[in-house]
């Protein structure tokens, strides 16, 4: 498995190996997020979904969640 320089923790660590989400966001996570931080965010995300009462099957809520994900993982814009 290849290593990435993680945008969240700043360490060079093992990456995910495959994009965890479809599209540009998934590709960005694959390139910029280590497996450890992704796992931490996956757990945190559950709280975020509950906190904002997000319904990820709805496009609008999914986009909100993706925006929060970008922020949480310190992903580069775009």
Of the two residues 36 and 64, which places its CB atom closer to Zn ion in the complex?
Answer: 36
Question: Is 73 near Zn ion (CB under 5 A)?
Answer: no
Q: How many whole angstroms separate alpha carbon 5 and alpha carbon 62?
A: 26
Question: Is 29 near Zn ion (CB under 5 A)?
Answer: no
Residue 11, CA atoms < 13 Å, CB-side half-sphere: 8
Return the range that interacts with Zn ion (CB under 5 A); candidates 7-15, 17-25, 47-55, 58-66.
7-15
Among 4, 6, 68, 73, binds Zn ion (CB under 5 A): 6
Contact 37, 16 (CB under 8 A): no
Question: Is 8 near Zn ion (CB under 5 A)?
Answer: yes
Nearest to 38 by CA among 75, 78, 76, 1: 75
Chain contacts with Zn ion (rule: CB under 5 A): 6, 8-9, 34, 37
């Amino acid at each position: 498995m290849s290593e990435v320089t993680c945008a969240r923790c700043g360490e060079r660590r093992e990456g995910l190996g495959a994009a965890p989400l479809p599209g540009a966001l998934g590709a960005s996570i694959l390139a910029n997020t280590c497996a450890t931080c992704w796992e931490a965010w996956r757990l945190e995300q559950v709280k975020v979904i509950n906190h904002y009462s997000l319904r990820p099957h709805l496009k609008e809520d999914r986009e909100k969640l993706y925006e929060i994900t970008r922020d949480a993982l310190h992903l580069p814009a775009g």
